[in-house]
Chains A and B, each alone.
Chain A
Amino acid sequence: MNLESLMLVALLLPLVGAAGISLAGSKPNLRETVTLTTAGVLAFTVWSLVPPVLAGARPRLEVTTLFDGLAITFQVEPLGMLFAALASSLWIVNSIYSIGYMRGNGEKHQTRFYIAFAVAIFAALGVAFAGNLLTLFIFYEILTISTYPLVSHKGDAATVRSARVYLGLLLATSIGLLLPAVIWTYVQAGTLDFTPGGILDGTGPLALGVLLACFAFGTAKAGLMPVHRWLPAAMVAPTPVSALLHAVAVVKAGVFTILKVVIYIFGVETLAESGAQQWLVWIASGTIVLASLIAMTKDNLKARLAYSTVSQLSYIVLGAALATASGVIGATMHIVTHAAGKITLFFCAGAIYTALHKTLVSELSGVGRTMPFTFAAFTIAALSIIGLPPFAGAWSKWFLVLGALEAGELLAVAVLMLSSLLNIIYLLQIPLLAFFREPAPGDEFRGVREAPLPSLLAIGITSLLCLVLFFAAEPLYQWARLLPSG
């Protein structure tokens, strides 16, 4: 098969899977087999695109032209390839985990859940492979809408209220800011194609700055403050959704969009010369610190992780805003390393809920002996997020700091260091509490009681990934270096 057909297959597979899931809806085992098979075949297809793309191939798929040269186009380049590979691989792990979680908790509407999940993966792949801004925008919106049923899964009044915040904020920012930014870009450049080196050469610094603001805040999925509120609201979703979508697919679609726009629409060099990105460094730094501080005050485990995500996403935005080669490399690597770490943390949170029905950090005193495996994995992932060697997060942080130094942004260096300290406080506190504090009355050790096996398997895979990516970071680094950031 040539590369173009492979792309098409990769895009259509999740939809085929969704249809299959709905057909097999009445037979849970068959339905989960369909999900896992689709995820497996999809990951295989996506990964078989990787070697040629890294070797320089840029397969392109023109679907249709709307008017005025506006087209629905897909093109694979290294950054999109990375995002697609990440999302499709973690979909397998997450599906394994979902089976344990959804059955363990006896959730309702499981068929709808798996269908919406498959459609969300379809949208994420569309975002990853988009060849121009319009296509990216369309799939960005599909991703928002397809995840609504997942967020509102529980269906009670409080959940629906939160889900409304989720949908309202994401739609309002994208239609109110992102769409005008797209149109404005078209007016300025006459095209929307992603082009190495950018397409906004002749635009003045002020216009560039305003346009960048429209993109940065219009892409609310990137979680920049003050448009981050949807992410904590989305935590009402079942944990597998929080894990894959709100630690990987949805939020990474957001930062991916910003990174892609900085690299292929503005052009790193154009942006660095204009100085129009300066304010974004400050906003991203502010978000990093503020979100960490808020995370410290949260007793609900998932809410704490959500604010941690908000903070970590801004690392990536910061990397893009630095507009240096190392900054872009660090940001790109952080997409992967943070995904591995945060999905593990969410998996652990879900496992704790499934096994012990606990949602608050303060309830976790001394339960480490009841769930030793889960809390060991939690510790590994937390250390990776903090950025300590020998865990994956160390490398991305390394390059981000390097980028900040290259750009002469000492403030950003300080913020990154401070954030690590804050991470230690609010993340490491949890396993410390679980392992070393006396258990609360009624929670005494009564034998190991872990989550169902599929969930544990998934946790094992992703926490191992945090470790492996430290020692095998070279391919990832080479991959990130392929981006035209000079």
Chain B
Amino acid sequence: MSIEDHLPALQIVVPLLLAPVVTLLRVRSLPWAASTATSALTFVLAIALAGQVATDGALSYAVGGWQPPYGIELAIDQFSVLLLLIISGASTVALVFGKASLDREIGEERAPLFFAAWLLVLAALCGMVTTGDAFNLFVFLEISSLASYVLIAAGPDRRALMATHRYIILGTLGATFYLIGVGLIYMMTGTLNLADMALRIGEVSELRPVLVAAGFITMGLALKAAMFPVHAWMPNAYAFAPHAVSVFLAACATKAALYVLIRFDFVVFLPHLAEHAAQVSAFFIPLAVVAFLVGSTVAVFERNLKRMLGYSSVAQIGYILLGVALLTPLALTGAIVHLFNHALIKGALFMAVVCIAHRTGSVQLPAIAGCARAMPLTMAAFVVAGLSMIGVPLTVGFVSKWYLIQACLEFGVPGYFLAAALLLSSLLAVVYVWKVVEAAYFKPRPEEAPELCEAPPMILASLWLVTLANLWFGIDSSLPLGLARAASMTLLGEAP
């Protein structure tokens, strides 16, 4: 077998094996350099894998040569590839972008362990979106959670510890729920391989343990995905984590949980449990609507910019869940493409806020008054990403909104109300983006405030890379849309 055949495994193994190596590097910025190189390599592997999937279609890889359903299978299709690109891309950009702020926040002493934890998160997230084995998935879920607790707790002040504590409790609950669900299904079907599970679950679909398992798994993953009303861990975790960690996790941590949720629901439960479709819709649609209305409203009143973006993420996750819960190809395409687009949007917004924080030393709204004059490029990027979040044409946000609203309108009168709620949430987004723009552009800089200057070039370059990606994929969205369309077809069991 050539190296290409092992790409699925390498995707996980490379960062996993390099993590312990990084702990041994005790020289200045070497840990950073090594993990950035590893992350970049992972990104390259993801691109290579995307190429393979594009030509050969979905891949299956038997770990250690143990054939599925007995061994662990890595199952890679367009959906996983999309997530792999998001995860490895976000990690790489966040590392390059975050060097300066990490140097300040982490310090040389803790750096080796911190970056090792970062690589573990990367490896585990990649594992979550590639594995085809329910228990292996749990293992990756736990690795990613434990390692990200470390990342968040490394935040500059002690509030990070409280935020982490909250996250540990809710995260552990989520993982436990998931494990209970998987255990029940294993009891009923005798298999842990997802594809195999989908085949066998039909025979026992009417039995109560399976229904309970569906409930536990959905709820557990919803916790990890920060779905409203179990989102409470997320805004603080983002707000008090080191800046680069906020960028990384905001772009992809909840996305991986959403991915697993979608996978499980559409592959295992929906085709085989008679009531599941109605239950998913009845459960998720109201929660999704409340999520984006409440999330956006809270964001409007939030004065800490990182928390504001965290609540905005609650709303955006609501959009994705709405797309999932409508269960039509159009809606699912919209949800999946929004996974990708939201990573770009929120990544760019967090990066811009971090740039400002880097110079002003604060993420509070009053502290940024008048900063646009000194930091025009940073604020311009914020405006572009903000427009993208609102959903203005020519940005990625528009692509998602176009699909989601169209999907809502297919449902007649109830759909009109959904579309109206979605638009209302967009209008709230206008308000909170505008608050920042107005403070930065139209408020005078306070007299006693220190002089500002533009962020360092490397930081600015990575910020604009992501910002331009917002425009690029808004104008030519064939790559994410193609993958999302293929993924939704596969998930809904229709021929692409």
- The residue that B393 contacts in the complex, of A138, A152, A167, with Cβ under 8 A, is A138
A134 within 8 A of B: yes
Asked if A160 is at the interface (CB within 8 A of a chain B CB), the reply is yes
Question: From residue A439, how far is it (CB to closest CB) to chain B in Å?
Answer: 41
> Which of B390, B410, B420, B476 contacts A175, CB < 8 Å?
B390
Residues of chain A from 180 to 210 with CB closer than 8 A to chain B in the complex: 180, 183-184, 186-187
Query: Which residues of chain B are near A90, meaning CB under 8 Å?
Result: none
What class of interface size applies to chain A in its complex with B? 20 to 34
Task: Find out whether the CB atom of B419 lies under 8 angstroms from the CB atom of A180.
Answer: yes
Asked if A2 lies at the interface with its beta carbon under 8 angstroms from chain B, I say no
Chain A 266-309: CB-based contact to B (< 8 A → 1; otherwise 0): 00000000000000000000000000000000000000000000
Which residue of the partner chain A has the closest CB to B442? A160
| Alpha-carbon distance A179/B477, docked complex (angstroms) | 19
| Inter-chain contact A176/B427, CB cutoff 8 Å | yes
B430 within 8 Å of A (CB atoms): yes
B86 located at the interface, meaning its Cβ lies under 8 Å from any Cβ of chain A in the complex? no
B394 and A179 contact, CB distance less than 8 A: no
Establish whether residues B405 and A180, one from each chain, have CB atoms under 8 Å apart when the complex forms: yes
Asked if A64 and B426 sit within 8 Å, CB to CB, the answer is no
Is A175 in contact with B406, judged by CB distance below 8 angstroms?
A: no
Instruction: Check if A67 sits within 8 Å of B430, measured CB to CB.
Output: no
Asked if A468 lies at the interface with its beta carbon under 8 angstroms from chain B, I say no
Contact B423 A179 (CB under 8 A): yes
CB of B36, distance to nearest CB on chain A (Å): 33
- Cβ of A1 within 8 Å of any chain B Cβ, yes or no, is no
- A172 contacts B442, C-beta separation under 8 Å: no
Candidates B393, B419, B478; contact of A137 at CB < 8 Å:
B393
Contact B399 A172 (CB under 8 A): no
Count of residues in B whose CB is under 8 Å from the partner chain: 27
Residue of B nearest to A163 (CB): B442
Q: Which residue of chain B is the closest to A70 with respect to CB atoms? A: B402
How far apart sit A138 and B405, CA to CA, in the bound complex (Å)? 18
B212 at the interface (CB under 8 A from A): no
Asked whether, in the complex, the Cβ of A172 is within 8 Å of the Cβ of B402, the reply is: no
Residue of chain A at shortest CB distance from B477 = A67
Contact between B426 and A183, CB atoms less than 8 A apart? no
A187→B406 contact, CB < 8 A: yes
Q: Kindly identify, within residues 148 to 186 of chain A, every residue whose CB is under 8 Å from any CB belonging to chain B.
A: 152, 155, 160, 164, 167-168, 171-172, 175-176, 179-180, 183-184, 186
- Interchain CA distance A241-B159 in the complex, whole Å: 50
Q: Please report the C-alpha to C-alpha distance between residue A134 and residue B392 in the assembled complex, in whole angstroms.
A: 11
Determine the residue in chain B with the shortest Cβ distance to A65.
Answer: B476
Cα A155 to Cα B399 with chains together (Å) = 35
Kindly report which residue of chain A lies nearest to residue B480, judged by CB atoms. Answer: A67
Give chain B's interface secondary structure class: helix
Closest Cβ of chain B to A308, distance in Å, is 30
A66 cross-chain contacts in B, Cβ below 8 A: 393-394, 399, 474-477
Expressed in whole angstroms, the minimum distance between the Cβ of B200 and any Cβ of chain A is 39
Q: How far, in angstroms, from A423 to B175 measured CA to CA in the complex?
A: 72
Interface 1/0s, chain B 414-427, versus A by CB < 8 A? 00000110011011
CB-defined contacts of B18 to chain A, threshold 8 Å: none
B442, A175: Cβ atoms closer than 8 Å: no
Question: How far, in Å, is B377 (CB) from chain A's closest CB?
Answer: 16
Whether A176 and B402, one on each chain, are in contact in the complex, defined by CB atoms closer than 8 angstroms, is no
The answer, yes or no, to whether B324 is at the interface (CB within 8 Å) is no
Within 8 A of A (CB), among B467-483: 474-478, 481
The answer to whether B393 touches A134, judged by C-beta atoms less than 8 angstroms apart, is: yes
Do residues B393 and A180 form an inter-chain contact, with CB atoms below 8 A?
no
Establish whether residues B405 and A141, one from each chain, have CB atoms under 8 Å apart when the complex forms. Answer: no
Contact yes or no, B424 A176, CB < 8 A = yes
A245 to chain B, nearest CB (A): 19
Closest to A210 in B: B416
Please name the 10 residue pairs, one residue from A and one from B, whose CB atoms are nearest each other, closest first.
A138-B393, A67-B477, A183-B405, A187-B409, A176-B423, A172-B427, A67-B481, A176-B427, A171-B430, A175-B426
Binding site for A on B (CB under 8 A): 390-394, 399, 402, 405-406, 409-410, 419-420, 423-424, 426-427, 430, 434, 438, 442, 474-478, 481
What are 10 A-B contacts with C-beta separation under 8 Å?
A: A66-B477, A67-B477, A167-B434, A168-B434, A175-B426, A180-B420, A180-B423, A186-B406, A187-B406, A187-B409
